[in-house]
Structure 1
Amino acid sequence: MKNEEEEERSVHEVLLLVLPYLHSLFELLSMNRVSRLLKNAIRDETALWTNVVIEPLLSSRLTDEILSEIASKSAGKLKTLILRQCLRVTDKGLRRVVDSNPLITKMIVPGCLELTPEGIIGCVESLTKNNHKLETLHINGVYGFTKHHIAALLNYLPDVGAIDVEVCPKCDEVRMVPACSRRSCKESKERKCRGCRFCVSRCVECLVCLGSDTEVQEAACGGDVLCLECWLVLPKCRFCNKPYCTSHSGLRQEIEDTDDAARPMFECQACYYRAGTNPYDAFDYQI
């Protein structure tokens, strides 16, 4: 009995060492359920709450009140706030967290549709008081930004690359304008391919511009295209032979195989739903 208790204690000690390396709130909450010891350790350790990362697994459940409660666990020492597609978080809720945590250096809120440009500018203004520096601001997917809003933000975040969106030089809209990874484009002073994805066709994987001299392949993501180099190295659907890009790899329908030596196989969603419950029906999906 004593040996079992000592073994259990040693296991918990190892798990306690792992806690600082957990990536997101979902992982912390999952560890909460392991034991009362871990639950208390997570609750009482302020350092674990200085980086709050909330991703789509929990995004839909997050409200202003829950966000405020989570942020309060850092005791005002929150440094990184990442909210991905949190559709119920409003300007008021975000501002409450920002005002209580003036040490935030990274604020990432892509796809938070209830936020407004004015609300975000107010938060940025608050976080840059008293010579404090906000190093990173990601707002892609927050609607309503104009070039005037971006100009206002640049007064507080002048460093190049601090904001993930900018005014597209081709269409004059506020969008992400990725840097082309093609060597000739990097070395060119004209940067003719500089523009958002609506103005310049790009490989969704490596962001290289896709000109008339580039062989283009279709991805399984729906409307996305790939350069030949990326298409060749990505895993393909076993039926339509289309790959998912890395950011959409979670959409793959994995196929179990009893042969451990066999290469992993998957079906894209289109083939999976056409096939129904019998995977071999997919051979008839074009009928």
Structure 2
Amino acid sequence: METPPAAENLFPSIPTGDAAEPHRALFFVLGYLRLPELLAFRQVCRAFSDEISANETLWRHIIVEPPLSTRIRDDILLWITSFARGNLKSLALLRCWRVTDASLLHVLDQNPYITKLCIPGCTALTADGAVRAVMRLAEHKGHLECLRLNGLCNIKREHLNVLKSLLCKNRQQEAFHASFYSGWSSLALGSDDGRPIDVDICPKCKNVGMVFDCTREECRTKRNRWSQCRGCFFCIPRCEECGGCVDEDELGEDTACSHVLCAGCWLQLPKCDTCNRPCCKQDLKAQALSSAGFVCDQCRDSELL
């Protein structure tokens, strides 16, 4: 497939070279590169460009994630996936808000043996388009095993029922897989929690979305209690650290981050040296943490005034 003009500007700062033949050992690195580095290597010299374009095994598992995802349009997606030559096995599009239903359907037509499809946060894609995509794979006798739709807008119960029937058509009844908020918040695109589809119907609000189980031991050991605190994040507040349900009397606990924390994690996490409020580990990475402690953003800003 001819390179679209927009693809030439993905890495404008890297010049194309022809001068020296790269050392053969460098070619063994290609299989370990992420998509941005792989595209950048194509621009280094003709030898790399020819090898990367011809070696379809480098393109069987494609992950498009920020910041590259904001620059991926339909024509660029079709160009990137064309290197797989119909042998694409997994495709993960994370927040690719320019990708449309038409281009996704075209990619699946050209690669009918995809087993894993992740399209979270792709706001230009529709629930109807996702159903058509999975149906198209089923028509091609494909074996889609993993579908990730979190962040896709307007998924209804009818969409979910069709998707589940298609995904489970050739699968035996599997054991129940619990879904924990603490695991989802740090879930890597390459990982698999064993569930064919990530969204479900919330037993509280009846909307389709991410539904989580409780990690608290006292909730897990009591069947009635476990079912009561199972639901989406909007219905059941959950601790950012442990993923357990948070009681109403714990919601008032002040934190140095924007996340909810249970009382147990509130006590254990590092506190701001100034205001003595805790910060979750995810947001703590952005703070200037040292052996002496840290000062939260709010206190640091107030000191500058």
TM-score range, shorter chain: 0.7 to 0.9
In structure 1, runs of 5+ residues without a counterpart are 256-261, 275-281
Aligned counterparts of 2:96 and 2:221: Cα–Cα separation in 1: 39
User: How far off is 1:173 after superposition?
Assistant: 0.7
Corresponding residue number in structure 1 for 2:29: 18
**What SS does the aligned partner of 1:156 have?**
helix
- For the structure 1 residues 43 and 175, does the alpha-carbon distance in structure 2 shift closer, same or farther, using more than 3 Å as the test? same
Q: Does 1:198 align with 2:234?
A: yes
Q: CA deviation at 1:21?
A: 2.6
Q: Which residue of 2 aligns with 1:259?
A: none
Query: What residue number does 2:303 align with?
Result: 283
Moved more, 172-181 or 182-191: 182-191
Distance in 1 between residues matched to 2:37 and 2:268, nearest whole Å: 31
Percentage identity across paired residues of the two chains? 39
For 2:51, give the aligned amino acid.
Answer: A
Task: Check conservation: 1:216, 1:225, Cα contact below 8 A.
Answer: no
Q: Given residue 226 of structure 1, which amino acid in structure 2 is its aligned partner?
A: L
Q: Is the 8 A contact 1:204 1:226 kept in 2?
A: yes
Alignment of 1:1-287 (within 5 A): 9=23, 13=25, 15-22=26-33, 24-32=34-42, 36-158=46-168, 161-190=195-224, 191-212=227-248, 217-222=253-258, 224-231=259-266, 241-246=277-282, 252=286, 263=291, 270=298, 274=301, 282-283=302-303
Amino acid at match of 1:132: G
Q: Which runs of 5+ in 2 are unaligned?
A: 1-19, 169-173, 177-194
SS at match of 1:209: coil
Q: CA deviation at 1:221?
A: 4.6
How far 1:229 sits from its partner (Å)?
4.7
Q: Residue 17 and residue 231 in structure 1: after superposition, are their counterparts in 2 closer, same or farther (change >3 A)?
A: farther
Q: Which structure is higher in strand share?
A: 1
Alpha-carbon deviation of 1:243?
A: 2.2
Gap change, CA 1:128 and 1:186, over 3 Å in 2: farther
SS at match of 1:87: coil
1:146 deviates by 0.9
- Using the alignment, how far apart are the partners of 2:105 and 2:245 within structure 1? 38
> Aligned partners of 1:32, 1:265: CA distance in 2, in Å?
44
1:211, distance to aligned residue in structure 2 (A): 2.4
TM-superposed deviation, 1:201: 1.1
The alignment of Structure 1 onto Structure 2 pairs a total of residues equal to 259
Deviations 1:43-73 (A, max 9, x none): 2221110111011111111111100000010
**Alpha-carbon deviation of 1:242?**
4.2
Q: Which moved more, 1:190-199 or 1:225-234?
A: 225-234
Superposed CA RMSD:
3.1
Q: Quote the Cα distance in structure 1 between the aligned partners of 2:80 and 2:105.
A: 14
Structure 1 stretches of 4+ moved >3 Å? 30-40, 212-221, 228-242, 262-272
Please give the alpha-carbon distance, in whole angstroms, between the structure 2 residues aligned to 1:180 and 1:99. 40
TM-score by structure 1 length? 0.77
SS of the residue 1:225 aligns to: coil
Q: Distance in 1 between matches of 2:267 and 2:48?
A: 45
Residue identity in the other structure for 1:194 = R
- After TM superposition, the score normalised by the length of structure 2 is 0.73
In structure 2, what is the Cα distance between the partners aligned to 1:86 and 1:73? 19
The Cα offsets for residues 88-129 of structure 1, whole Å up to 9 and x where unpaired, read as 000001101011101111111111001011100011111223
**Alignment partners' CA distance in 1, 2:37 and 2:123:** 25
Paired AA for residue 21 in structure 1: Y
Counterpart Cα distance in 1 of 2:119 and 2:293: 34
Q: Distance in 2 between matches of 1:232 and 1:36?
A: 57
Return 130-139 or 89-98, whichever deviates more: 130-139
